[in-house]
Structure 1
Amino acid sequence: MWRRTYLLLLLLRVYFALSPSYLHPDEVFQGPEVIAGELFGYNNVRTWEWTVAKPIRSVFPLWPVYGLPMALLKAVWARDGDGLVSPSAIYYTTRIVMFVLSFVLEDWAIHELVHSPRKRTEALTLVASSYVTWTYQTHTFSNSVETLLVLWCLVLMQRIAYTNNPEPDEKGLTPEPISRRSYITSSLALGFLVVFGLFNRITFPAFLLIPGMQLLPHLWNRPLALVALVTSAFFWIFVAIATDTAFYTGPAATTSFRALFEYLHTAPVITPINNFLYNMKASNLKAHGLHPHYQHILINLPQLLGPALLLLIPSPPRISDFDIDRMLNNPRLTAAITGSVILSVIPHQEPRFLLPCIPLILTCTSMPESRIWRQRFWVTWAIFNGAMSILMGVYHQGGVVSTQLAIPDIIRSSLSDTQNIAKTVEVHWWKTYPPSLYMLGPPISNPITNDTITISTDPLLGANKTNLFDSLTTNLPACEDKDDLLSRIANAIAGAQYPTEVLLVAPLSAWRFEPGQTIPPVSNFSFSFPAPSVKGTAPRNALQLTHLNNYRKHINLDDMDFGDDGFMPTLTRVVGRRGLGVWRVERECADDQMSMHSEPDGKDG
């Protein structure tokens, strides 16, 4: 029964790994975006973390996690020998890699850390059925990698500690101590993982503080293990700093080893120090959002664990057996507690920062002894994780990736339908997370003229409708320029400016309509967008929004406005009109015959 359940949960993990939901921009721009740009030469965005004078993001952990799979993909699946690979293949390859890492390394670590067969089965079932495992752990977050590193550091610490004090199992049997060769190998691996974790995220040491202190006596009694760990750590620190220095310095540092050593001596790039100094300034964190210190404990952990938090509360018979020493001797629990407490001191707190705590806590819980309460827990647990996995794993910003991958085909189709000879296409993204540029792939050509098209991506985020209108009309051809195809080609030959194709990508729920107005059908959500009136300026032409594409599995939680719209109208709009649409934007000229279904009101969406 348990094996069949585990297999079903594994299939669910595969399904959500391949569902293109979008949980946070960091899952793209802190990893795959940069590496895909380096390997394939596609357009890519390097956010401020990569471009500041003292960069805070390391590429050292990115090459083995994302660079190696992409390089293998490039070698195996390059099209026509040009070295190019479909962006969709790159995206889904990285998601499959994260699934495999989660399935193999996370479950394997739990199998080693939990010694009791019964407890192990419960722990594996809890972790494998958590929506955090299905969604966050299969996305390309540095936090997901950090989770695996924390677990395996605890595994290696346990192996090293077993050389002196093997822990008896539940039957009282003591395992044989591992050999000298094995504990030295574990120490070498631990040194690498500690450095890898530190360059991946500077929060990583917070989870290993107490387990690391508890390991010190074992290392002191095993000097060869201590020497191996320190030697390994220093070696990999050098490799990490050299990798980052070469990446950020550019060709000047990669011409020869001598040039690289000169830069390492005069201007090394040490990203963890830069990251630490950046996060020590409250003014810097304020730009990302400040949270109360109780955010992690009272809000984020319940959001991630749900009813599993109740399993941490001991029942009356077990309260009398509560032993603080036994709790401290549980490295998984101490790692979760110290990590949560230390991260709670930092005023910027997001749920994903606590991802390493989730498997650690779930392996320390105890099921209710009553069969009825166990059944009630599993029902509640299934409902909670089912609802959260559908929301976060399928619908949360779920149309951004699929739409961005389809944008080249949408552009070609739109230009062909309108016989537009544009060389430039502007794609404005409104009320969505910013899309990844590498997903646009190689350059495309205009189907009319066969000229190469420049695609400009403009993430407007939560701009109001006035700013949206201004952005859409900046380079939009005027009404008098909308001539027939022959006139436009003649103007282009004469040296006149090519027209610009303007597209808008936005959630269907972003458009609010006045009561009594007919809402356009989702299948053809075309309408007129009136120009906002500005006092003292001449009236402007409205815009015609012609619906081109729609991806229904998309919900924008940031568009919920219960205070102004009310509870049910908000749910009706955000959930009922779920989906991400693409529109062709044109000026509404006097001679246009396009049908207009309705006009959105002037309220900012």
Structure 2
Amino acid sequence: MWRRTYLLLLLVRIYLALSPSYIHPDENFQGPEIIAGQIFGYPNLKTWEFTSSRPVRSVFPLWPVYGLPMLVLQWVWTETGKEAVAPRLVYYALRLLMFILSFVLEDWAIHELVHSPRERRIAVVLVASSYVTWTYQTHTFSNAVETLVVLWSIVMIQRILDNKHRSSLLSSALLGSLVAFGVCNRITIPAFLLPPGLYLLPHFLRKPFSLLILGTTFILTSILGIGVDTIFYHPSSPEPLFQILRSEPTITPLNSLLYNTSTSNLSLHGLHPPYQHLIASLPLLLGPALLLFWYIRKPSLSVISALSATVLLSLIPHQEPRFLLPAVPLILSSVRLPSSGALKRYWFISWIIFNTILGVLMGIYHQGGVVPAQLWLGQQRQHDSGLSEVFWWRTYSPPVWLLGGKKLLTVDLMGMKAEEMMDRVTGATEGYKGGDPTSVGLVAPKSSVDLDAWIEKTKSVMVFEQLWTTGNHLNLDDLDFEADGIVGTLERVVGRRGLVIWKVSRIPEA
């Protein structure tokens, strides 16, 4: 029975992995956006993490995770005689890759960490039935990569502890490389690994050569990461790499640590109280599984890692649920189900409802029209659509790399006030040369009623032509319970869900 359940959950996971929902801009702009520009020459947008004088984002982890599959795709495509790899193919190939990494590495790690066959079956099914596994882990998040690094680092720690009579040199070497890779990926990884790692101190006292091997692989991997980052951030330097490494190395984890220890910097991204993770992040990620804290089997490395990270990351003023992503499989693999039959049944019902709702929301509808819209725009010939500039309003920032080689100016108006947006779009239709009227694109959610009023008000001056639309788009940033009430907000945001690409033209004066 559990095998059939697991296979069914795998189908759900792969379906949502290939559904183009858009959970957070970081899933594109901190990974594929950068590497696709490097490999395919696609126009791309580098965010502040990559353009500041002290860059805080390392490209070293991006190359093995995203760069290698892109290079393979490029090689295969070249061998077939075709000119360029389509962004659509790259996008879905990366999603499929993240599914495979989740299916193979995450589930394998659970098998390693849970020794009892019966408890292992429960742990694997719980992790596989979590919407976090279906969505966050199958998107191109650095947090998803961090989850895999944390799990396998704990596996290596456990292997070293279990093998008391040997030095466990291979496990020590892998642990050193994993930690260095993880620090380059996300500076928060020590919060998950430092407390479990303290259990290795007695082993290192008995087997100091293990510590030497661990330190050596950590240093070598760190040097490799610093070298890759230094080359990336000094592309036109005439000096040899060795000289740059000596005089001006780019150490992105250090820059990230210094940046995130400044409250003034974090205030730009939003400050949260220290209990934010406890009252908001964990309930959002785990839902009814929080009740199973009463049924934790015993203190283990997994539990220690999850709890220590929650405490340590709560000390940082800026907190987001995805920062605790590695804690989800760690906790779900460490709990037991209620012993009471009725209680167990009610818990299962609540678990299924919770993950179904969040899975559909985050896996299908959350900003689900942004990627398909950008892919559609990238496939259109300019003389067919008549667009050379597209304004995006009240959506997440569109990934520019999805346009491929198309020269289409993307203007992100974000949450700009409706009046200002109207002025920008209206001004753009006045033309670029000689005052001749021109057409521009406007991408906006259907739930924005301000756009309805504008269309009706200016219909004698402006012409709106709907070029493309989808209903699989929910804009949760458009919620306004204070102004519209609960029913009115749900009718507008959910009842009018969808995204539209408009062609906006000015009627020529007679």
Residue of structure 2 in register with 1:528 after alignment: 455
In 1, Cα distance between equivalents of 2:42 and 2:146:
28
In 2, Cα distance between equivalents of 1:497 and 1:241:
51
In 1, Cα distance between equivalents of 2:447 and 2:217:
54
In 1, Cα distance between equivalents of 2:170 and 2:54:
35
> In structure 2, what residue type is equivalent to 1:41?
G
Q: Offset at 1:366?
A: 1.4
> In structure 2, what residue type is equivalent to 1:147?
T
Residue of structure 2 in register with 1:304 after alignment: 285
In 2, Cα distance between equivalents of 1:528 and 1:22:
28
Contact 2:195/2:305 (CA < 8 Å) preserved in 1? yes
Structure 1 spans left out of the alignment, 5+ residues:
165-176, 444-453, 482-494, 518-526, 532-539, 592-605
TM-score, L = length of structure 1: 0.81
Q: Deviation per CA, 1:360-400: give whole Å up to 9, x if none.
A: 11111111111221121111101110010000000000000
In 2, Cα distance between equivalents of 1:57 and 1:335:
24
Q: Deviation per CA, 1:482-503: give whole Å up to 9, x if none.
A: xxxxxxxxxxxxx957764300
In 2, Cα distance between equivalents of 1:570 and 1:296:
27
Residue of structure 1 in register with 2:422 after alignment: 469
Residue of structure 2 in register with 1:449 after alignment: none
Residue of structure 2 in register with 1:455 after alignment: 408
SS at 1:391 equivalent:
helix
Q: Deviation per CA, 1:145-178: give whole Å up to 9, x if none.
A: 00000000000011111121xxxxxxxxxxxx6x
Residues 25-174 of structure 1: matches in 2 within 5 Å?
A: 25-78=25-78, 81=81, 84-164=84-164
Structure 2 spans left out of the alignment, 5+ residues:
none
RMSD of the TM alignment (CA)?
Answer: 2.2
> In structure 2, what residue type is equivalent to 1:508?
K
Query: Given the superposition, is the C-alpha separation of residues 501 and 586 from structure 1 closer, same or farther in structure 2, using an over 3 Å criterion?
Result: closer
Residues 175-186 of structure 1: matches in 2 within 5 Å?
A: 180=167, 183-186=168-171
In 1, Cα distance between equivalents of 2:343 and 2:207:
47
Q: Offset at 1:60?
A: 0.7
In 2, Cα distance between equivalents of 1:466 and 1:83:
43
Residue of structure 1 in register with 2:323 after alignment: 353
Q: Deviation per CA, 1:416-468: give whole Å up to 9, x if none.
A: 47xx5xxx61100000001111100123xxxxxxxxxx411001111111111
Q: Offset at 1:475?
A: 2.6
> In structure 2, what residue type is equivalent to 1:144?
A
Matching residue within 253, 264, 267 for 1:272: 253
SS at 1:468 equivalent:
helix
Residue of structure 1 in register with 2:494 after alignment: 575
TM-score, L = length of structure 2: 0.96
> In structure 2, what residue type is equivalent to 1:304?
L
Residue of structure 1 in register with 2:469 after alignment: 550
Contact 1:529/1:544 (CA < 8 Å) preserved in 2? no
Q: Offset at 1:226?
A: 1.1
Residue of structure 2 in register with 1:340 after alignment: 310
Contact 1:410/1:548 (CA < 8 Å) preserved in 2? no
Contact 1:332/1:361 (CA < 8 Å) preserved in 2? yes
> In structure 2, what residue type is equivalent to 1:273?
L
In 2, Cα distance between equivalents of 1:186 and 1:63:
24
Matching residue within 230, 239, 252 for 2:237: 252
Contact 1:502/1:585 (CA < 8 Å) preserved in 2? yes
Residues 450-529 of structure 1: matches in 2 within 5 Å?
A: 454-477=407-430, 500-512=438-450, 528=455
SS at 1:148 equivalent:
helix
Q: Offset at 1:225?
A: 1.2
In 2, Cα distance between equivalents of 1:62 and 1:142:
9
Matching residue within 235, 242, 249 for 2:227: 242
| Residues 1:373 and 2:326 are matched in the alignment | no
Q: Offset at 1:409?
A: 3.8
In 1, Cα distance between equivalents of 2:204 and 2:413:
54
Residues 554-565 of structure 1: matches in 2 within 5 Å?
A: 554-565=473-484
In 2, Cα distance between equivalents of 1:238 and 1:292:
36
In 1, Cα distance between equivalents of 2:46 and 2:248:
21
Residue of structure 2 in register with 1:398 after alignment: 368
In 1, Cα distance between equivalents of 2:57 and 2:404:
24
| Residues 1:294 and 2:221 are matched in the alignment | no
Query: Given the superposition, is the C-alpha separation of residues 79 and 37 from structure 1 closer, same or farther in structure 2, using an over 3 Å criterion?
Result: farther
> In structure 2, what residue type is equivalent to 1:471?
R
SS at 2:428 equivalent:
coil
In 1, Cα distance between equivalents of 2:190 and 2:203:
19
Contact 1:541/1:587 (CA < 8 Å) preserved in 2? no
Residue of structure 2 in register with 1:488 after alignment: none
> In structure 2, what residue type is equivalent to 1:29?
F
In 2, Cα distance between equivalents of 1:382 and 1:251:
54
> In structure 1, what residue type is equivalent to 2:278?
I
In 1, Cα distance between equivalents of 2:235 and 2:130:
42
Q: Offset at 1:223?
A: 1.8
> In structure 2, what residue type is equivalent to 1:344?
S
In 1, Cα distance between equivalents of 2:325 and 2:148:
10
> In structure 1, what residue type is equivalent to 2:378?
P
Which structure: larger Rg? 1
Residue of structure 1 in register with 2:404 after alignment: 441
Higher RCO structure (Cα 8 Å, ≥6 apart) = 2
| Residues 1:281 and 2:262 are matched in the alignment | yes
> In structure 2, what residue type is equivalent to 1:247?
F
